[in-house]
Every structure is written in structure tokens, then in C-alpha cells.
Structure 1
Amino acid sequence: MAEHPAYPVGLRLTGRRTVVLGGGQVAQRRLPALIAAGADILLVSPSATPSVEAMADSGELVWERRRYAEGDLEGAWYALIATSDKAANRTASAEAERGRIWCVRADDADAATALTPATGRSEGVTVAVLTTEVHDRDPRRTAAIRDILVEALGDGTLAVPSVGVRPDEAPRVRPVALVGGGPGDPDLITVRGRRLLAEADVVIADRLGPRDLLAELPPHVEVIDAAKIPYGRYMAQEAINQALIEHARQGKAVVRLKGGDPFVFGRGMEEAQALTAEGLPYTVVPGISSSISVPGAAGIPVTHRGVAHEFTVVSGHMAPEDDRSLVDWAALARLRGTLVILMGVDKIGRIARALVAHGRAPDTPVALIQEGTTAAQRRVDATLATVGETVRTAEVRPPAVIVVGEVVEVGDTAPAAPGTLT
């Protein structure tokens, strides 16, 4: 059997009897995939690792605490032999051969009737790698190839092109992806977000999204600028919603690329509701919020032992005295933790006065981090008493994250600049 390469095949084991002999490390690695496949699993072993025992305790498999006995494989569709008893392994393998049961031998692949490939998953696709060289079965090599393929599929390096439809077919509606692009550094988008970008037909992008990623898109991808520039040009939210709907109805792969996280001051839910109202599916890809990542990139922890046990994120796009504001500034002033203010550069003077008026100390440290995580990042420090004037004299411009609290003075060393190799 070992003279010819294995024939690759996928087994549907849902509800089908599968027998695993041995409860050690091999079983611990292989059992999760068998459980995920819906197999009806019998484990025969006098002992098991704690993880395998937990699978039995949770009802994911049946465990008989004893050694293998001939006849245990009766009725099985698939068997995994992974005991430390070589004689028992040979006997079980012979039983599998007689019963025409596909059998994996952990101790002797050449004597097995089936081989376990190195497998990985990426968004509904299973990658399985088997070596075709029968005399060079190096599991490290197949695992390395598997890892390269899964990573490439996951981060979009290996993009799956869109599949067109025949003229007589109706467009297949795909879920619109509401993708959080992170705080600005293109390396901080999630793996899934990057992959969906690589597969997109249409990208509707915000100004605060990671712009460098747009340069990586293939020429056929339509990029729609949905920038919302403060007091400047912008695409109305209703127009954005309509663009999402129209392109999705055409069967295109649509990505709504937003800065930070789609649901943190990002109107992501408004877009989701608009899609739902039209009967269109959507998926949400969370992003790293600038409220925690930008302070971190500037060397500021939003919480720190003995300094701050809480942090609050608030929008500063409306002044405290504005009747439309939903923020309880008086309550925020009474808190002892960290206050992170987004979209508040032009209102920070009035915000600081409101916080002081309601009890926050005037000398409370404040840090403003402009264009955080990008090559243009800069940090400006002040206090509540001086921040209004500091913003003016230092010419701080949006986008900037404002951090109020003692944590501003915790860090005594600056992190590496964004994009620096360490």
C-alpha cells in the first residue's frame, strides 16, 4: 500500500460510528475535528488527557475506560488507532481491514488504510494537505504548507475571485460586509476584514478607514468615497445606505470600510438596519477601536493597577451645553477613572470647562493623540485647565483621540513609532 500516493477524499461522518483507540495527545488533537464533523464517537482507552476527559464529560463522545478488545470496531465507518500498545494496534488494524473500515494508524502510517492530512479552515473552506511522496512523509512540511495556504486565504494574499453568473441566472445576493478598519495603521485591520477587501467588487470607504489598503485593491474594484470631513464635503448617510443596497442587489461583493469599529460612533447599525429593511443580508467584522488602540500606541494605558479601574468612551461632537447632547458630563466629572473623548477636538475647551465645573480637578492630565497609529502620529499634553488653549496654539486637528485622567502620566517610555520593526 505504501508504494502509491493516497487518494484524497472528504468523509461525511455525521451520525456515523467512529471509534478512537487511545486517549492521549494524538486523540486530543484529532477529536475536535471528528466532533465538529458530527461523528458518533466511541473512545476506548483506560486513561485520557484532561482535555479528552472534558469532551467525554460534556457528552461530545462516549468513553469506555478499558483497553481495546477485538470486536470494538464492529459497525464503525472510521477508526483512529492511537494507543501505546503496538500489539493492540496491529490487532485493531487487522480488524479494520477485515471489516473494510477506513483506519488511521498513529504509530505506523504505512500500515494504515487512511491518512490524516494537515488541515485548516478559512471562512468555510477546509484546506487539507497530504504529501504525494510516499517515502518522505514529513508532517512538519505538510503542516507548513497548510499554514501558508490558510494564512494567505485569511489575509487576502490569496484572493478568491468573484464567480460570475450566467445570463439566465438571477444575481446571487451576498452579505454586505460592514468592516471595521481599525485606527488607521493598515496592519491593524483584522485578518477577516483584509480578506473580504481582497474579494470585494465594491468598497465604500470612510475618510478614517485605513486608506493604504485601498491601494492594494485590484483595478476592477470600484471604490466609492464616503468621506465625512468635519464642516466640509461629505456623502450623506442616506446616500451611503442606498449605494450599499443598489450594489448588493446586483450580486456584487460589497464592503463598507469604516474607521475603528463599525458600531463605535460609526453608524454601522444604521446601515445594517437599512439593509435589513430591504431584505438584504449583512455581516459585521469588528475592528480595533481607536478609543483604546490610539492611547496604547502613544504609550498610555486606559487602565492601570492602582491608578484607574475604569474607562469611559464618549463622543465629543456636541458641546456640553448643546440641548441635543446625550452625555451626562456632570456624572462623568464625578468618575475617578479614565475618560476617552472621540470627535472632540473643536469642543475640548468647553468640555474641559464643564468637567471642571462639575468637580474634576483643573490639573487633571490630558493627552491629545492626533492621527494615532499612522506615520503622522503626534502627542500633545496638557491639563483640563490648559487644553483649550493648547489645542489652538499646537494646531491640533482631527482625527485625534483625547485622554483625560491620571493614566496619561503613567507611561515613562514611548513605544516604537508606528510601522517600526522591532
Structure 2
Amino acid sequence: MDLELTKEDLAFRDEVRAFIEANLTPELQVAGRRLTSVFCEPRYSLPWQKILHARGWAAPAWPKEYGGPGWNEVQRAIFAAECARAGTPSLSPMGLKMVGPVIMGFGTPEQKAYYLPRILAGEDYWCQGYSEPGSGSDLASLQLRAVSDGDHYVLDGSKIWTTHAHHANRMFCLVRTSTEGKAQQGITFLLLEMNTPGISVKPIITLAGEHEVNQVFFDGVRVPKANRIGQENQGWTVAKYLLEFERGGGSAPGLFVGLERAQAIAETADGDDRWHRRRLAEAEIAVAAIDMSERRVLSELASGKNPGPASSMLKINGTEAMQRIDEISIAALGDYAHVDQMDAREPGSNIPPIGPEEGLTAMPRYLNNRAASIYGGSNEIQRDIIARLVLGL
């Protein structure tokens, strides 16, 4: 198992680093460094996506035949690490990392030709219609009905926690097309336009005071059957395929950046320096272990091996380490952590921060990242996977 970068890898790293330094504007860098979740506002993420797209780098994991760079596993990891180090705005994963690969795997030639170039160019901005009131981690219990009517489905029901639905012009959605047999067997995967008559979006303001998620209502919404991905009642298979991309790995570079931020905050703290040093040291050890595990998985992938349940292990450890780092930052900030400074966080704002500048996003990050151990399959579910596949329980 070779964990060191080759000369070719190092040359590629330098190429990526030089490109970012030449193209990342100060405003976009501030927006990237002040992210409070995995989602960046499209007014910042889309300009950066267009810059990357012009270079052919908007979708690192896409094969060349669909407009991607055709990078190997190591190159993708290097690119992600350099983006994290530089503080680039994160691109929305809904199109590039989730529905895009699904369309490649299950879409018709016509669907691929239409949707994939639009996703790459940022012409379509997607949201995910999975969770419903009473149907979160247990997606098999979803109830949004899609009744067949000629060449269309008619949708009635609602979706909830729909991230960036207020920005999106398209949604990929799980709907119930049958109530017979097992619950999983009556689900279908649809693509729809958000301006379709009968769709309404209600904002949900988070504890962080941010408008990131929504509830979406469907009242007699007509969706062409040509927008179905895969066969009717086979959406569960498509959904499981998508979750493989949603869970993913590669969290160590971002965790190291979070550690640096927590260290900068701790250096301004008036509290117990020994406590902060100990907690930071413990977190650094955990992140180093995650980094080594990700390198091991990367080495296995590069040699054509399947890492198996390692993705579940990394999902658990990565999200819990992130939450631990957030807690350290909040504790170090003390009373400053509770000051609402949403306006001061905006790139270009002339409002001075109250307390250390590194602490502007500490509380929103802490609150938003509580969801990290839930989305993409909760950590409890990941532990069940490990119990079955590794321990044989």
C-alpha cells in the first residue's frame, strides 16, 4: 500500500494550486472560508463553477465521455484537498455529485444528452426530493403519491428539509407509484421542473437563522413520464445507487482546515488554555487517523479494490470529528459564540466582527453540522452496516 504521492501527482498538485491562486477572487475566497454548511449560496458557488467548467474541472469524478476531466482517484483527492486548503466555495453536490451520476447510470441517451451538459455548466440548479414529514431516514415509508394519467404522473403530497429548493429550478424526486407488495417496490425516481404549476415552496429557517431548507408542496402537479429515471416502481434501486455518491469520503482536508480555525479561536480565548490544548490535541489525533484511513481507502480504490464498509466507518468518524471541532470552537469563544453576526459574515461587509473574526461562523457551523451525522444515512445506520458486514451480527 503506497500512501505517498508520485512525482506526477506532485506536479498535478502544483498545477491545481497555481490555477486556484490565479482564478479564485478575494470575494469568492471569503465566501468559501465563511461557509457554515456543505452548501454555498449559488451567487458565489455558480461563478466558481463556471470558472472550473471553462477549465474542464467542474466535475472531478465524471468520466471524459460525459464532459469530466477523467481524473483518477488520487487526482480527485488532490483537487479536493487543494480546494479545501484555499477556501474555495463548495459547489452544490445535488447536480454534480448526485443526480448527474444517476443519469449516467440509469438515464436514457436523450436524458444524458440534455441534462448532463446543463449540470456541468451550472444552467440547472437541483434540489433533492427525498425526505417527507414522517419519512426521513426510513425512505421506504414515503407517501408522495404519483398517479398515472396518460403520459404524465399527477403528484400530491409534500417533501421536507429540501435544501436550496428556493434556489433550484429542478428537483430529483422519489414518489410512490404503487402501494402493492413491499414498500420499497412501489417507489419511482422522477425529474421535475420547479416552476411546474402546483408546486409551492415554504421556507424553514434553521436554528442558525439561515434559510437553507424548505418544505415543498405538490398539489396536482403533472410530470411527464419521459422525466422518469429507470423503470416505474424501481426507484429504490436508483435511490440506493445515489446514496453511494452522497456518503462518499474525503473529509480530512476540510477537517484540518477546521482544526486550524479552532486553533486560531483558542489562541484568543480567556479560558483554560490547558483544556483547549488537550481537546485540540485529541481532535488532531482523530483527524490524523481519519486522514490515514482515507489514504488507505484511496490506495485500495486506485488498485481496483472495493473498500466495502470503510465508507460507513469514515462517515461516522468524519462527521463526529467535525462536531467535536465545532464544540471546541464554541467553548473557546465563550459569550462571543452567541452573538448573531449574519451581516458581518457577508463577503465585502464593512461591519466589524464582535470578537475574533474566526468566530463569525462558529455557532452557525456548530448548529448546521449537527445534521451531518444524520444526512446521507444516519450514523446509527452506518453502525448497523458495520455490525452486519464486519462483525457478522
Shared topology, TM-score over 0.5? no
Q: Name the one with the larger helix percent.
A: 2
- If asked which structure has higher relative contact order (CA below 8 Å, sep 6+), I would say 2
Q: Which one has the largest radius of gyration?
A: 1
